[in-house]
A = this chain, B = another copy of it.
Amino acid sequence: MKEGPDIARIASLVGDPARANMLTALMDGGALTASELALEAGVSLPTASSHLAKLMDGKLLTVASQGRHRYYALSGAEVANMIEAISGVAAHSGPRRARPGPRDKSMREARVCYDHLAGDHAVAMFDRLIAQEIIVRDDEEIRLGPAGQGFFAAIGIDTATLGASRRPMCRACLDWSVRRSHLAGSLGTAILDKILAEKWARRPTGSRVVEFTPPGRKAFEKLFLS
């Protein structure tokens, strides 16, 4: 009966609307203060504090005290991955949002998923990388392919140092908008970093949307989709 880890415990943590809002607000990988999160969740400060304590207790969040502020953030990519997975199911189950709306459209196109790129663009890129054997799926795992090291070196991403880290370099992350995988892991992070560093896209504050500039999109497509 009671087998694996206590799944109900942490699912119920996400199950409260206020907490769910907080978690999604943190999905961009940033850190927010308690008051900001209270606002985001639409509850009073005491209530928010109580929720944050619970999330901390469940190790879903980490906190960093800075002066008299306390910055809360997701405790890791694993948590972000879980939220995405839940979103995926919810998208199919939910009371179909009548019309997607413009904001949802850009979200669908390109958004930040914790620390890497998600959305249509990310999925297309993922497929292309697979097709060119820059990365390869090996059963459930994803690894750098034969053409990988050279490709990334040419755009200034050193896969050797990435691989040395403890964090998995390549991971598949399932999208809730499209039903397909995109690239997570430290390589996914590196690619997002490059996109922002090259100013191909910018991130409106307080949102997960990634807005490509017209020339930025061209550059992105040329590099990853051709």
Contacts and interface: CB of A to CB of B under 8 A. Distances in A.
Interface of A: 1-17, 19-21, 23-24, 40-42, 58-60, 78-79, 81-95, 97, 103-104, 107, 174, 176-177, 179, 208
Number of copies: 2
A5 B90 contact: yes
A176 B6 CA distance: 12
Majority secondary structure, A binding face: helix
A79 B107 CA distance: 23
25 contacts: A1-B107, A3-B103, A4-B91, A5-B91, A7-B23, A7-B24, A7-B86, A8-B14, A8-B17, A8-B19, A10-B90, A11-B12, A11-B86, A12-B12, A13-B15, A59-B93, A78-B85, A78-B88, A78-B89, A81-B85, A81-B88, A82-B88, A82-B89, A84-B85, A86-B86
A180 to B, nearest CB: 11
A60 B93 contact: yes
B10 A93 contact: yes
B15 A12 contact: yes
A92 B179 CA distance: 27
A9 B94 contact: yes
A40 B2 CA distance: 9
A42 B16 CA distance: 24
A106 B60 CA distance: 28
Contacts of A24: 3-4, 7
Contact of A16 (B12, B95, B174): B12
Given A1-B42, A1-B208, A82-B89, 10 more contacts: A1-B21, A1-B107, A3-B177, A4-B107, A5-B90, A6-B90, A9-B94, A10-B94, A12-B12, A78-B174
